[in-house]
Amino acid sequence: MKYYIGIDLGGTNIKAGVVSEDFEIVAKATCKTDLPRPGEEICADMAKVALEAVKEAGLTLDDIEAVGIGTPGTANSETGVIEYSNNLGFLNFPVVELMKTHIDKPCYVENDANAAAYGEFVAGAAKGANDAVCITLGTGVGGGIIINKKIYSGFNFAGAEIGHTVINVDGPQCTCGRRGCFEVYSSATGLIRMTKEAMEKDPASALHAEADEHGKVSARTAFNAMRKGDATAKQVVDDYIKYLACGIANTINIFQPDILCIGGGVCNEGDPLLLPLKEQVAKEVYTRNSEKNTEIVIAKLGNDAGIIGAAFLGLNK
């Protein structure tokens, strides 16, 4: 049995896992990223948690074939350099070179959304596809694109920024500087913003009681209140799905992938999200009269997608 190390480098946590050749995580370890601090310290901690996971798995480094790292930002998979990551404060950081001083194994780096998409492709909801797109609905909207079974990242390794395509040129300001980005409307952050705006307009809405019960407004607030029959909450959910369908239809029209999978906490809503979403997308895609259309599915691997995808980045080469 062959084993690989996958590292998911996040702004809050560093997570590492040992993954078997049949795509099973056999052990995990984690620590806080503890930003801001020097990249060399972060790299040392990545190696530390990776070795903890190896030990937890009852293995040694002799059992490990390769190491892969998924990171926020622009990661040059050819040079092993994180060229820019605003979340981590990295600029031209030679992560692969440094990692190999700690763990002398083949090492690969890729953008975290690309790594997660690759995880779904090799072992999750997009397994068996030739072309796939994975969209993660989290704090932002992350994108990963697989074309001819390979990660597509553009000539400058900054491709697949699906969240920063615009669906309303006069919409709210996005953190990227543009207005009306897909991310502004379809991220969990965007759903929370729309929920709060609806609450301000309708003081009698059940949204208020729902938020009070859970101590905050979350991406689940509108869905929960909608299930209790609240009309304002239903309108929020309908609007959210309308914007999400628009962005997904745009993506399908460009790439026409076999499979488009969506992930992130919002997707835990299941059919109340997926069924009307599919119905709306079917009305909007250019191929609506075709016998063959992109299958829209919920991602399967959850928070493990990044670890599994990173572990097998060597396959992408």
Provide the pLDDT for residue 86: 84
- Asked if residue 312 and residue 234 are part of one domain, the reply reads no
Give me the chain's average pLDDT, please.
95
- Asked if residue 221 and residue 92 are part of one domain, the reply reads no
- Asked if residue 201 and residue 98 are part of one domain, the reply reads no
- Asked if residue 99 and residue 136 are part of one domain, the reply reads no
- Asked if residue 171 and residue 50 are part of one domain, the reply reads no
Q: Average pLDDT in the 131-142 region?
A: 93
> Which helix (H) or strand (E) covers residue 214, if one does?
helix 206-214
CATH of the domain at 135: 3.30.420.40
Segment 285-315, tens digit of pLDDT: 998 878 889 999 999 999 899 999 999 999 8
Q: Average pLDDT in the 68-89 region?
A: 94
- Asked if residue 259 and residue 167 are part of one domain, the reply reads yes
DSSP string across 8-63:
EE-SSEEEEEEEETTS-EEEEEEEE--SSS-HHHHHHHHHHHHHHHHHHTT--GGG
- Asked if residue 189 and residue 79 are part of one domain, the reply reads no
Residue 280: pLDDT above 80? Answer: yes
Give the separation between CA 152 and CA 316, rounded to whole angstroms: 10
- Asked if residue 52 and residue 7 are part of one domain, the reply reads yes
Q: Average pLDDT in the 182-206 region?
A: 97
Residue 213: pLDDT above 90? Answer: yes
Give the separation between CA 288 and CA 295, rounded to whole angstroms: 12
Query: What is the band of 68 on the pLDDT scale with cuts at 50, 70, 90?
Result: very high
Question: How many domains is the chain partitioned into structurally?
Answer: 2
pTM higher than 0.85 = yes
Provide the pLDDT for residue 290: 80
Q: Which domain holds residue 13?
A: 3-122+304-316
Q: Answer yes or no: are the C-beta atoms of 181 and 163 closer than 8 Å.
A: yes
Provide the pLDDT for residue 283: 95
Segment 98-113, tens digit of pLDDT: 999 999 999 999 999 9
- Asked if residue 251 and residue 146 are part of one domain, the reply reads yes
Provide the pLDDT for residue 316: 86
Query: What is the band of 8 on the pLDDT scale with cuts at 50, 70, 90?
Result: very high
